[in-house]
């Protein structure tokens, strides 16, 4: 049976779901807050996530976005929020189903079976190699892959948050820039590039569908949200910044390619 991660901060409900799902043969792991949920999902990738929106440390919508940065695992939301806007926000963020509390165990099991039938294998894991870089979507970090076997250094994640479309984040240097260090032989070793929150979201959408052409409008809608469908200049800016940071030759991109007048494609 499947591996299920339950994210719920109500102890009695969490215990009841764990007992019921385990009795039906599922392997169950649990988390009582968003940070623990993201760590569990990265360390023990589940087949299905059951997620409460009202968590003590962050909103469940942010957990969905964090998961969607690197995985297509089915997500079933369990929430006492019954308003239409709440449901739409969860589904737009990447949830596959929405169940309002209170609910029956049989209904939950039926929803699990339904999303399990629709699920497709993930096309990439939390680690993706682009050029000379290894991108870790779970840790939000980029590692330079040197030609030698002397080891690598890792970029720490940028703080969460979203800057306005097309705006350079405060304190950010030129794309791809960072302090360089000298190696044992005096050679300059490249520093791992830092990606901004918007760059992480854009890259995640592209990498999630390798080889598929994604229209500019779809990228703008998924990364910046409704109302930015015509802001193609921001999209070009951020794609070019990702190329300068990750492509071996940004002027001749091999991995983040453009289909003129149509959109962009990630080529593994």
In a domain, 160, yes or no: no
Considering the domain architecture, whether residues 112 and 137 belong to the same structural domain is answered as: no
pTM: 0.51
Tens of pLDDT, residue by residue over 257-268, are 998 888 899 988
Selected residue with higher pLDDT from 76 and 92: 76
Distance CA 144, CA 140 (A): 14
In a domain, 155, yes or no: no
Residues 38 and 14: beta-carbon distance below 8 Å: no
In a domain, 159, yes or no: no
Considering the domain architecture, whether residues 48 and 171 belong to the same structural domain is answered as: no
| Mean pLDDT of the region 182-200 | 70
Instruction: Report which DSSP code applies to 193.
Output: P
In a domain, 157, yes or no: no
Give the CATH number for residue 40. Answer: 3.40.50.2300
Considering the domain architecture, whether residues 132 and 262 belong to the same structural domain is answered as: yes
Considering the domain architecture, whether residues 218 and 256 belong to the same structural domain is answered as: yes
Tens of pLDDT, residue by residue over 120-155, are 444 445 788 898 999 988 778 899 987 643 333 333
Give the CATH number for residue 257. Answer: 1.10.10.10
Considering the domain architecture, whether residues 194 and 176 belong to the same structural domain is answered as: yes
Considering the domain architecture, whether residues 180 and 220 belong to the same structural domain is answered as: yes
Considering the domain architecture, whether residues 260 and 132 belong to the same structural domain is answered as: yes
Q: How many distinct structural domains can be found in the chain?
A: 2
In a domain, 20, yes or no: yes
**Overall residue count recorded for the chain in this entry:** 268
In a domain, 198, yes or no: yes
Share of the chain above pLDDT 90, in %: 32
| Mean pLDDT of the region 245-256 | 93
| Mean pLDDT of the region 175-191 | 49
pLDDT of residue 184: 43
Tens of pLDDT, residue by residue over 28-55, are 999 999 999 998 988 888 989 999 999 9
pLDDT of residue 188: 54
Which DSSP string corresponds to 43-80? HS--SEEEEESB-SSSBHHHHHHHHHTT----EEEEES
Q: Which of 118, 140, 175 is the last residue of a domain?
A: 118
Considering the domain architecture, whether residues 248 and 172 belong to the same structural domain is answered as: yes
Q: Which of 96, 118, 140 is the last residue of a domain?
A: 118
pLDDT of residue 168: 44
In a domain, 213, yes or no: yes
Q: With cut-offs at 50, 70 and 90, classify the pLDDT of residue 65.
A: confident
pLDDT of residue 157: 37
Considering the domain architecture, whether residues 134 and 111 belong to the same structural domain is answered as: no
Which residues on neighbouring strands pair with residue 6, listed in sequence order?
30, 50
Q: With cut-offs at 50, 70 and 90, classify the pLDDT of residue 96.
A: confident
Of 39-48, 131-140, 220-229, 246-255, the poorest mean pLDDT is in 220-229
Tens of pLDDT, residue by residue over 98-120, are 998 888 889 898 888 888 776 64
Distance CA 194, CA 246 (A): 10
In a domain, 244, yes or no: yes
Q: Which domain holds residue 258?
A: 127-150+166-266
Q: With cut-offs at 50, 70 and 90, classify the pLDDT of residue 172.
A: very low
Considering the domain architecture, whether residues 78 and 136 belong to the same structural domain is answered as: no
Which residues on neighbouring strands pair with residue 7, listed in sequence order?
31, 51
pLDDT of residue 124: 45
pLDDT of residue 119: 60
| Mean pLDDT of the region 69-91 | 86
Considering the domain architecture, whether residues 73 and 131 belong to the same structural domain is answered as: no
Considering the domain architecture, whether residues 253 and 132 belong to the same structural domain is answered as: yes
pLDDT of residue 203: 92
21, 103, 137: which is closest to 29 by C-alpha? Answer: 21
Share of the chain above pLDDT 70, in %: 78
């Amino acid at each position: 049976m499947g591996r299920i991660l339950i994210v719920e901060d109500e102890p009695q409900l969490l215990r009841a779901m764990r007992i019921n799902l385990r009795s039906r043969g599922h392997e169950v792991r649990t988390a009582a807050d968003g940070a623990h949920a993201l760590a569990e999902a990265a360390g023990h990738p589940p087949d299905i996530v059951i997620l409460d929106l009202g968590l003590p440390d962050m909103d469940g919508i942010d957990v969905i976005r964090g998961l969607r940065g690197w995985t297509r695992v089915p997500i079933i939301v369990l929430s006492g929020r019954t308003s239409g806007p709440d449901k739409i926000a969860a589904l737009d963020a990447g949830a596959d189903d929405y169940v309002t509390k209170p609910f029956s165990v049989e209904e939950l099991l039926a929803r699990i079976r339904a999303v399990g039938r629709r699920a497709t294998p993930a096309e990439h894991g939390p680690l993706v190699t682009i050029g000379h870089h290894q991108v870790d979507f779970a840790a939000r970090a980029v590692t330079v892959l040197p030609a030698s076997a002397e080891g690598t250094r890792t970029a720490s994640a940028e703080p969460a948050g979203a800057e306005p479309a097309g705006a350079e984040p405060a304190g950010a240097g030129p794309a791809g820039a960072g302090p360089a260090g000298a190696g044992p032989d005096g050679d300059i070793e490249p520093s791992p590039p830092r990606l901004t929150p918007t760059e992480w979201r854009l890259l995640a959408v592209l990498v999630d569908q390798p080889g598929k052409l994604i229209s500019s409008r779809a990228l703008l809608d998924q990364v910046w949200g409704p109302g930015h469908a015509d802001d193609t200049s921001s999209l070009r800016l951020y794609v070019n910044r990702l190329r300068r940071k990750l492509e071996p030759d940004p002027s001749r991109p091999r991995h983040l390619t453009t289909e003129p007048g149509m959109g962009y494609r990630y080529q593994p």
